[in-house]
Structure 1
């Protein structure tokens, strides 16, 4: 593929978020020798997302841009469309609430160009909001994709960490390789009215299983804008339950990678996992479960309970699929070790 960077911005009803996000994107200070482009993926928006993006980019974009449509709802589908349409070797996934530092494209190119075996890279993010952050936010900011993703910059391939999608940089060739060999996300990420996510983590697990490296570099810096409604304890509780649900889809990857797994890969059954989760809920005590809504804001245990409930609900929902996910991963052609040239 041609050397350069494709910035992919996936949007669903992003008309209010886009102006400031695109302002930062258009103000990138990019080395003239680095080719780059902007791709807006409109994921079935019903507002003026497309019109606003077109107006701003027509007036301010320093590089070629395209606006494409993805009718299938879900962030994973939107990102796949972005990957398929990217013309350059590296892709930055910029969410509609990500304000990239001026050197983000430059640093992304430098990192990904340094080693051919790097499949994905991510950095650090700071929170940005119009209201005062809640007292509990600092302790729980990782749930909002805010803060450091690792202790120090470097190779985190063998660490129990998956990069979040906000600002994640990937190797286009690696992503296209996965899709060409039959990779299909077990998740669809966020849809209208839902909080489920995780396709970014799933991509990192897939890259690792395919033989690529994952890098954390704090030179990749962005500000993550958080709307008022997200800075609410009840929102975080719902988000935690969604995180619990998505973990069910990560289990085949994590067990294949031997991360925190005591169960042999081929010996998995939804009923065993459901029983384990029920047992875990019992350990919290019936009294605490019944009074969970009365627990104080900032209570870690309340979020842990929400995650456990989310996992249990999801495994019961997909019980006929649960075992098949392990089998599908075991048979995946894309998981064969890549021989890097």
Structure 2
């Protein structure tokens, strides 16, 4: 095993050749890292564009004391890319940035400092600001957190398990030991791919870490900007996106619930989903057809309601046989 480092920045990417140069430039110009031993790893999640060539070009001109590495993950899905990053990383802390996340100049230094100050934390998320390519629809702030927009004030916040709220994976820092202590060999949710819209793999991962007794925090000093192109605000993207979130919810809801009481929990969640659907229709009526925000919310409620039935029927909840 090679010598460990203080920190690893991991960038999982799929067809990110056009987006990677800006984030790599941001990382090349990080400030106040002189006393931190760290590295950058780009995890190519089976891209079909020029991602590998872009990274090689940067590597050829790389003159920073911290290395820029590249690895290829054959299995598509964010969970597989993250797992590969953990395996490749030498850092005690692994900070994940998506290829459309642009960290401020001190992101690495304040990320590492926060971990040092909080010995019981297993993971902590960034403050994430949106960079909209076009102005979002009216009332879109109701949906913004689902697009990894996380602006929860300027003070650190501990995510209490009973609040059922966790940070997104964009800008998330994970303690390597917490991952090793908490994660099963295989997760149920693996991330969106071309023939599968299920998401929620980040919440499943964090739920395991929280269940193991590690604290999870929001650190507002770690600021990143999330660039959101216009196509991510279109109905053709958003409706399947919220359907995938909803369909995955049985998994993320049940991770921290003991198996013996899951039937009761399922009953309560099902009633609550029906309540949300009924109230949404009662309050907004036919407006659901004409408002993108209302349609997305209804899709989320409906998909959450059918989530356990969908997952069972598609084999997600059956035990995986070992090979």
* TM range, smaller chain: 0.7 to 0.9
**Tell me, what secondary structure is at the counterpart of 1:318?**
helix
Alignment of 1:153-172 (within 5 A): 153-158=156-161, 159-172=163-176
CA positional deviation for 1:42: 0.8
- In structure 2, the partner of 1:334 is none
Is 1:72 the counterpart of 2:65? The answer is no
CA positional deviation for 1:266: 3.2
Is 1:87 the counterpart of 2:98? The answer is no
Contact 2:42 2:70 in 1 (8 A): yes
Deviation string for 1:141-190 (max 9, x for gaps)?
Answer: 112111324784132244432110000001012212334xx443110012
TM-score, reference length from structure 1: 0.81
Is 1:39 the counterpart of 2:41? The answer is yes
2:233 to 228, 231, 234: 231
Distance in 1, Cα, partners of 2:189 & 2:223:
27
- In structure 1, the partner of 2:115 is 112
Q: Give runs of ≥4 in structure 1 deviating > 6 Å.
A: 285-290
Q: Kindly tell me the number of residue pairs found equivalent between the two proteins.
A: 315
**Relative to structure 1, is the Cα distance of residues 29 and 39 closer, same or farther in structure 2, using a 3 angstrom cutoff?**
same
Contact 1:123 1:149 in 2 (8 A): no
TM-score, reference length from structure 2: 0.85
Deviation string for 1:205-256 (max 9, x for gaps)?
Answer: 1111111111111101000011120022443333222211121111212434
**Tell me, what secondary structure is at the counterpart of 1:298?**
helix
Is 1:315 the counterpart of 2:311? The answer is no
Alignment of 1:150-229 (within 5 A): 152-158=155-161, 159-179=163-183, 182-192=184-194, 194-229=196-231
Distance in 1, Cα, partners of 2:19 & 2:264:
43
**Tell me, what secondary structure is at the counterpart of 1:225?**
strand
- In structure 2, the partner of 1:5 is 7
Contact 1:120 1:213 in 2 (8 A): yes
Is 1:58 the counterpart of 2:51? The answer is no
**For structure 2, which runs of at least 5 residues remain unmatched after alignment?**
none
**Tell me, what secondary structure is at the counterpart of 2:179?**
helix
Q: Which moved more, 1:47-56 or 1:276-285?
A: 276-285
Deviation string for 1:112-159 (max 9, x for gaps)?
Answer: 112322100112111113333333333321121113247841322444
- In structure 2, the partner of 1:339 is none
Q: Which moved more, 1:112-121 or 1:146-155?
A: 146-155
Is 1:298 the counterpart of 2:293? The answer is yes
Is 1:147 the counterpart of 2:181? The answer is no
**For structure 1, which runs of at least 5 residues remain unmatched after alignment?**
257-263, 329-341
CA positional deviation for 1:80: 0.2
Contact 1:197 1:242 in 2 (8 A): yes
- In structure 1, the partner of 2:27 is 25
Deviation string for 1:44-91 (max 9, x for gaps)?
Answer: 111111111221243246221211111011110010000011111000
Contact 1:274 1:315 in 2 (8 A): no
Contact 1:270 1:315 in 2 (8 A): no
**Tell me, what secondary structure is at the counterpart of 1:161?**
coil
